[in-house]
């Protein structure tokens, strides 16, 4: 009596899995045509067109060492002009605060799959609060610029860490007076994952 309903459920599950696999294949094929460079970020092939990296940002004026973890992928909805990416990030501060960030960015136009030497601009803000109309602050705001030097991203923060954080390593409160252009800090993002980020954060607290 129960064999037929179970078979129907199994058949429905298999169809769902098949549709998801098919959808993934279609998206991958689209990105392979529209943004082949997405599979070769960092100079080597990735089965999934995404790059993730971890780096340390030191700022004397903003309290010490910050650890940044980013992961991003081609922004397939903006196929014009420069090459756009979108993604997320996590930031660990000297004071022990953690921030989840969202960002967009762009590269110079790559040739084929090559990104080495291409200029990079990434812009990030707080992911936890999204409604500026309610008077909430999207800080911290980070801006990183530099270039690919495969396999790394070699960047600087355009003074954005010093604009966002005070000498105690804590986020400036909303509407607080802060330097417009302070210390510019370099950062090299090397391929890594969330485990590398957590290890670097823990090491910074010892």
Q: Which residue has the higher pLDDT, 62 or 76?
A: 62
In this prediction, residue 107 carries a pLDDT of 85
pLDDT tens across 102-125, in order? 989 988 865 567 788 889 999 999
Q: What is the mean pLDDT of residues 73-100?
A: 82
Q: 98-101: long-range contacts (C-beta < 8 A, 24 or more apart)?
A: 98/201, 99/126, 99/127, 99/128, 99/140, 99/171, 100/126, 100/127, 100/128, 101/125, 101/126, 101/127, 101/140, 101/142
Give the per-residue pLDDT at 127.
75
pLDDT band at 74, cuts 50/70/90? confident
For 172, which DSSP code?
P
- When pLDDT is averaged across residues 139-159 and rounded to a whole number, the result is 94
Q: Taking residues 21-36, what's their average pLDDT?
A: 55
Q: What is the mean pLDDT of the chain?
A: 81
At 15, is the pLDDT very low, low, confident or very high (cuts 50, 70, 90)?
Answer: low
| Percent over 70 (pLDDT), the chain | 69
- Give me the sign of the Cα torsion angle 161, 129, 85, 190: positive
C-alpha distances (whole Å) from 96 to each of 59, 102, 171, 204 are 15, 20, 11, 9
Q: If pLDDT is split at 50, 70 and 90, which confidence band does 46 have? A: confident
């Amino acid at each position: 009596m129960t064999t037929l309903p179970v078979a129907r459920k199994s058949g429905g599950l298999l169809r769902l899995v098949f549709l998801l696999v098919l959808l993934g294949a279609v998206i991958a094929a689209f990105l392979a045509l529209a943004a082949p460079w997405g599979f070769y970020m960092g100079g080597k092939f990735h089965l999934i067109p995404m790059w993730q990296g971890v780096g340390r940002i030191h700022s004397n004026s903003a309290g010490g060492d910050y650890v940044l973890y980013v992961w991003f992928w081609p922004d397939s909805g903006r196929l014009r002009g420069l090459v756009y990416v979108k993604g997320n990030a996590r930031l660990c501060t000297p004071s022990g605060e953690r921030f989840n960030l969202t960002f967009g960015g762009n590269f110079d136009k790559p040739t084929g799959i090559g990104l080495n030497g291409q200029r990079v601009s990434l812009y990030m803000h707080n992911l936890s609060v999204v409604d500026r109309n309610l008077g909430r602050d999207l800080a911290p705001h980070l801006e990183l610029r530099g270039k690919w030097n495969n396999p790394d991203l070699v960047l600087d923060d355009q003074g954005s860490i010093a604009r966002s954080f005070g000498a105690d390593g804590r986020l400036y409160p909303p509407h607080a007076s802060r330097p417009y252009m302070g210390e510019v800090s370099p950062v090299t993002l090397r391929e890594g994952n969330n485990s590398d980020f957590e290890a670097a954060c823990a090491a910074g607290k010892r």
